[in-house]
Amino acid sequence: MHSLLAEETPTGGLLGRAQYWFACLFAIGWTGVVCGGLFYQFGLWEYPCPLCIVQRMFMLLAAMGAAYIVRTALAHGAVTGRDYMMGWGLSLVAVIAGSFASWRQTMLHVLPGDKGYGSEVLGLHLYAWAWILFQASVVAIGIALAFAHSTADPSVPATGPGPLRTAGLFVLGFLGLVIAVNLVAVFFEEGFHWFLPDDPNRYQFLYDVGILDQAAPPGAGHR
């Protein structure tokens, strides 16, 4: 009986803290990717299409799964194997669904001569990079889940002052801010309508309320 209880007791230690830091980096990473999309939207006037928005939603959902682990550590100073699996499970569902969305958009522009949708980064469009990152995240989450119980740490010291708590609060604050900005950006682009056009070229809300006339701004939209 004693040996059985010993096997069921989480023995995280350093590995548990490492997984906490990985959760922080995972949430920050996907939130940063969404920020990259917002830069192209507001800095380069490239309006996201419906599939782009769907991919952003799954990116933020993936970040929220990791953020659940961070929030648990901040609230209780401990992250059990169940908490790890719940958070990573949510992230896994998100990145798998996001990979389908990015794959779908890639397949829409796979024919020779198709210039694709939007700008390129290092020779690939943003949705192609999104597919690569989603697939890499599936592998990373699979590894984290495989070792979730052995890395569960019953004493992650994130409730008191220190770098663990500072990093965790930053992660949650940054994620919440980007979610809010993304919601506002989508509302401005969609306006008082149920659906986005396949190739949006303006912020429809500004036209719905009469701030701008019906002429689309020059240089808007994607290639």
Q: Write out pLDDT tens, residues 14-63.
A: 666 777 888 899 999 999 999 988 888 887 788 888 888 889 999 999 99
Report the percentage of the chain scoring pLDDT > 90: 26
Rounded to 10 degrees, the C-alpha dihedral 197/203/206/209 comes to 20
Is residue 166 domain-resident? Answer: yes
Quote the domain boundaries for residue 179: 13-208
pLDDT confidence of residue 51: 86
Give pairs for 4-10: CB < 8 Å, separation 24+: 10/80, 10/81, 10/149, 10/150, 10/152, 10/153, 10/154
Per the CB < 8 A criterion, the answer to whether 66 and 27 are in contact is yes
pLDDT confidence of residue 3: 40
Is residue 118 domain-resident? Answer: yes
Is residue 130 domain-resident? Answer: yes
Is residue 2 domain-resident? Answer: no
Q: How many domains does the chain have?
A: 1
Is residue 103 domain-resident? Answer: yes
- This prediction has a pTM of 0.80
pLDDT confidence of residue 124: 73
Model confidence pLDDT, tens digit, residues 167-217: 888 999 999 999 999 998 888 777 777 777 767 777 766 776 667 666 554
